[in-house]
Structure 1
Amino acid sequence: MRISLTLAIVACLPLLSHAAEPLIVAHRGASKAAPENTLPAFRLAWKLGADAIEGDFHLTKDKRIVCIHDADTKKVSSRNLVVSRSTLAELKELDVGSFHGEKFKGTRVPTLSEVVATVPDGKQIFIEIKCGPEIVPFLLKQLEASSLRHEQIVIISFKEEVIRQVKSQSPEYEAFWLCAFKTDKEGAVKPGVDEVLQKLAAIGADGLSSNSRIAESFIEAVKAKGYQWHVWTVDDPDEARRMESLGVESITTNVPGLIRQSLTEAAGASGR
């Protein structure tokens, strides 16, 4: 019995070591190498070893959910359509791949269901809501109809009301409030920790997802209250290792392969 227990503990060590590393979340897919928020970018992210993908979502005129960052298509297409005033069929006519290179010509705006279908078992999707809370009923209905388990889905938004409605209607989904910290002329980080903690509590968020411009004491205060902390968008390996040392839960990056390799090599060098 003692030998079997020892072998079981040894066998678990690699898993425990990996679990200590933050999740690598592919920002809009592997968006450095493929057009952002498209199926080629998401599929490439999985090939590069991402633990999760992150995509941006809007509601169309005909109440379909599509994956695109901006409220219009100017950035990614030669035609400029406002997403909320366009139907899915109209958006599907656009080429949103050529801007990133000729080999991506003909790439289309994907729907939420198409993006969700790429998520392998054991992986996650971070769904960033870019529009307002009007999307929430349609979002929750589609997610419940998908093949993903609740724990594979994370909903994120800068908009407090989106997080509030998600958590009040479907508390089984994790939801994080997004916040971009800035430093004022006196060197103080805004918003302050008290304001952040009050907002997280008021909207029922499970955690905070922020840029990396944040002090260690701030992070400790957030985590001491039981909230998770996630960070974006980190493409520098040194910064990623610093974030890992501060106990971040996940690192969102445009280069998931590079950041994964960097953290794995650092773990090997330290004997973890």
Structure 2
Amino acid sequence: MIRGMQVVAHRGASAEKAEHTLGAYLAALEAGADALECDVRLTADQHLVCVHDRTLARTAANPGLVSTMELRDLAELDFAAWKHPWSELDDEAPDMDPELGKVLTLRKLLETVADYDRRVELAIETKHPTRFGGLVERRLVEMLAEFGWTGPDAPVRIMSFSFTALQRVQRLAPDLPLVMLMDKAHHWPMLRRLVDPDWIIGPGIKELKAHPGFGRRLHQSGRRIHVWTVNTKANLELCQSLGVEAVITDKPDTMLRLLGRK
């Protein structure tokens, strides 16, 4: 574990580059991010891809569903153009390798991390509900096992808003750290009776700001806390006051500078 607060690039350096593209993750690595965060979904032909939404309308200008399309179909789409729609009209804009804006498979992201010249961790979120149910977690653990990343020293943790999904991962790979994501502070009184004491709690920064007592109770109980999505100095300072272990951010370069690490 990296000493001090870990800076996790949310979908890559997504404030700067199109989310979940290889270009966004390479920018995050260059910035010095300690870890990379991604969401994974299964395609119709059972490939894990790094895509947040169930539909492709927002990030690829396509009405299709990730779960009903094959990888070869996704590979034909542009996942980067939406971020800078006027770039083609900018004569001074640098040329970009088209491959950096294509759909990114989880395998490619794992290979990128495995080949990097320093330890980089991965925070992988499984999205639910999905038509594939628990097959998502099964395929994910199988792929991690190919890389030898299911043991206690693996640079990987699994996150989800689904308690059931995390239970599946716990059965399949009991040594992997798990993060129970939360977007409603009022769910905690119920969840704390169910969530394993070793699980990390992952609240959104909006909930910590709206319900100050929630964060204090988590901190006082000794829970490990990872917070999303932290993009400002004020929010970073709030996380520091609560002993937060990791901040998930669209702006890894900015957070590293604010922490005095650049």
Q: Indicate which of 223, 229, 232 corresponds to 1:233.
A: 229
Report how far residue 262 of structure 1 moved: 0.4
Write the deviation string for residues 194-214 of structure 1: whole angstroms up to 9, x where unpaired: 21312313xx76111011223
Partner residue, 1:73: 56
2:186 paired with 1:190: yes
After superposition, what is the alpha-carbon deviation per residue over 1:60-102, rounded to whole angstroms, capped at 9, x for unaligned?
1111100011011111112222111111111111111111224
- Conserved? CA contact 2:11–2:19, under 8 Å: yes
Tell me if structure 1 keeps the 8 A contact 2:219–2:243. no
Which stretch has the larger CA shift, 149-158 or 58-67?
A: 149-158
Report sequence identity in percent.
27
SS in 1 for 2:24: helix
Q: Which moved more, 1:46-55 or 1:73-82?
A: 73-82
Which one of the candidate residues 171, 179, 182 is aligned to 1:179?
A: 182
Structure-2 residue corresponding to 1:146: 147
> How far apart, CA to CA, are the structure 2 residues paired with 1:137 and 1:148?
14
Verify the 8 A CA contact 1:24 1:252 in the aligned structure 2. Answer: yes
Q: How does 1:1-272 map to 2 (within 5 A)?
A: 19=3, 21-101=4-84, 102=87, 106=98, 107-119=101-113, 120=116, 121-131=118-128, 132-146=133-147, 148=149, 150=151, 151-181=154-184, 189-191=185-187, 193-201=188-196, 206-212=199-205, 213-214=207-208, 215=211, 217-223=213-219, 227-264=223-260
TM-score with structure 2 setting the length: 0.84
- What letter is aligned with 2:25? F
Counterparts of 1:67 and 1:161, CA distance in 2: 21
Task: Name the CA distance, whole Å, in 2 between partners of 1:240 and 1:223.
Answer: 15
What SS does the aligned partner of 1:228 have? Answer: coil
Listed one character per residue, the Cα deviations across residues 1-46 of structure 1 (whole Å, up to 9, x for unaligned) are xxxxxxxxxxxxxxx9x82x21000000000110001100011001
Q: TM-score, normalised by structure 1?
A: 0.81
SS of residue matched to 1:177: strand
Give the Cα–Cα distance (whole angstroms) in 1 for the partners of residues 78 and 169 of structure 2: 32
Task: State the match for 1:12 in structure 2.
Answer: none
User: Would the aligned equivalents of 1:35 and 1:104 in 2 still touch at CA under 8 Å?
Assistant: no
- SS of equivalent to 1:164: helix
Q: Distance in 2 between matches of 1:104 and 1:163?
A: 38
Partners of 2:173 and 2:149 in 1: CA distance: 15
Equivalent residue letter for 2:107: S
- Partner AA of 1:174 in structure 2: P
Change (3 A) 1:92 1:133: same
Unaligned 5+ residue runs, structure 2?
88-94
Amino acid at match of 2:17: A
Q: Is the 8 A contact 1:164 1:205 kept in 2?
A: no
Secondary structure of 1:69's counterpart equals coil
> Relative CO higher for 1 or 2, CA cutoff 8 Å, sep ≥ 6?
2
Larger C-alpha radius of gyration, 1 or 2? Answer: 1
